[in-house]
Structure 1
Amino acid sequence: MNGSVAGVPIPGSAMARAAAEFAITAAPQILYRHSMRVFLFAALIGQRRELAYDLELLYVTALFHDIGLTEPYRNSQRRFEVDGADAVHSFLSGYGALGDDIAEAWRAIALHTTFGIQAGMPPLTALIAAGVETDLLGLHFDEVDRTTRDSVLSAFPRGTGFKGLIIEALAQGMKHRPATTFGTVNADVLDRCDPDYRRKNFCGLILGSAWDD
């Protein structure tokens, strides 16, 4: 995709085009459009906060942030965030990205479901989290006004029933690895979607540990 959406330029370098082609091919439309909205909301929030960030790196990271939920990872037993983080690491390394940029993209994806800690981190990690929070939780509407949000949705629609469908898409990517949801909001997804799911309990793990006290 060329041009801009809501005043945000869509990166058009060879690396950006390759990332977009990969995401379009690998991810179902609901995840691809979500990823594009995450990028746009993140960029808009970054502009409003006057943060220094690399637009192309933000774009690639947003496109990869949910890749770990897709079909190639349906046998993985790792957290889907880590699968996505490793995927972006390999992709950026193949394009000769700087080590610090690769590390920050990895961290942004690995932490994007661990809400509450990203705001104090470097801009890329903070903005990916803010983009996710905006698209999924309806946060940051004070930083992205209604007209701007409508422009984003016109380019990348949520579609009818998005709220329920995105929960189902998340569940599909995690139902084969329920243990990986411990300690994150992902446990809520399987608790809702999988009748056989049983949460791990942190207190129970402490009380049942091998210590004799």
Structure 2
Amino acid sequence: MRLSEFSVPDTLAARGALALAEQYQSEAITAHALRSWVWAEAFALVDGITGIDHELLYVAAVLHDIGTVTEFDNHTLSYEHAGGHVAIALAAGAGWESERRERALEVIVRHNWPRVDPAIDAEGYLLEIATGLDISGARPDALPREFVRDVLDAYPRGALAAEFGACVVDQAERKPDTAARRLVDGGVLEKLAANPLEAR
């Protein structure tokens, strides 16, 4: 498995998602988003999941945390719902049909579920386990070491632990009925600090 095996979709929506991420998110959060996309694609191979909508997966991965930034934060919606609506707006501008736009929202929202059934939502499952690896260190040995090293070299973690930790604590405090509260109560700060990817 090599990083070069995974190609960014050459589409209007994919380019737009990356442009939004780079304009509004920090380098560390955007690198996290891009690693999450690569991990998701890699887990599809490892877990034998086929029939993936690769453009949808890329857009959802790149925008899955954009609801944490000031410009897209929503005082009533969870950050994953807010980010999902950003994805809907982007996808509408790119000409996606209504059902596919809604899928972008679903995938982003489900990345914060404790578990997603791949038989029901393959892309949601892949983003959930990918972010689980990048944030909490879940399944750290599921992917080849050399591949993991190359991904971390291409998209360095930087200040992710501090930045994402601060974001999710802020979200949990202001929106205690959202998934952010569950993440904080579940020890996400400690998991970020102990993530074996931090040591690589």
**Match of 1:90?**
89
Query: Residue 70 of structure 1 contacts residue 173 of structure 1 at CA under 8 Å; is this kept in 2?
Result: no
Amino acid at match of 1:35: A
- Structure 1 distance, partners of 2:36, 2:109, is 15
Residues 42 and 175 (structure 1), Cα distance of their counterparts in 2 relative to 1, 3 Å cut = same
Gaps of 5+ in 1: 193-213
Gaps of 5+ in 2: 191-200
**Match of 2:9?**
11
Residues 70 and 15 (structure 1), Cα distance of their counterparts in 2 relative to 1, 3 Å cut = same
- Structure 2 distance, partners of 1:58, 1:141, is 21
**Match of 2:99?**
100
Query: Residue 80 of structure 1 contacts residue 174 of structure 1 at CA under 8 Å; is this kept in 2?
Result: no
Within a 5 Å distance, the mapping from 1:95-174 to structure 2 comes to: 95-159=94-158, 162-174=160-172
**Match of 1:65?**
64
Amino acid at match of 2:142: E
Residue 170 of structure 1, CA deviation: 2.3
Residues 28 and 182 (structure 1), Cα distance of their counterparts in 2 relative to 1, 3 Å cut = closer
**RMSD between aligned alpha carbons?**
2.6
**Match of 2:79?**
80
Q: Percent identity?
A: 21
**Match of 1:43?**
41
Amino acid at match of 1:133: G
Residues 70 and 50 (structure 1), Cα distance of their counterparts in 2 relative to 1, 3 Å cut = same
**Match of 2:31?**
33
Q: Secondary structure at the match of 2:10?
A: coil
Greater mean deviation of Cα atoms: 143-152 or 98-107: 98-107
Residue 149 of structure 1, CA deviation: 0.7
Query: Residue 34 of structure 2 contacts residue 62 of structure 2 at CA under 8 Å; is this kept in 1?
Result: yes
Q: Identify, as 1 or 2, the structure richer in helix.
A: 2
- Structure 2 distance, partners of 1:74, 1:29, is 18
Q: Secondary structure at the match of 2:88?
A: helix
- Structure 1 distance, partners of 2:5, 2:189, is 39
Query: Residue 65 of structure 1 contacts residue 84 of structure 1 at CA under 8 Å; is this kept in 2?
Result: yes
Query: Residue 33 of structure 2 contacts residue 61 of structure 2 at CA under 8 Å; is this kept in 1?
Result: yes
Structure showing greater Rg: 1
Give the TM-score normalised by the residue count of structure 1. Answer: 0.77
Residues 130 and 26 (structure 1), Cα distance of their counterparts in 2 relative to 1, 3 Å cut = same
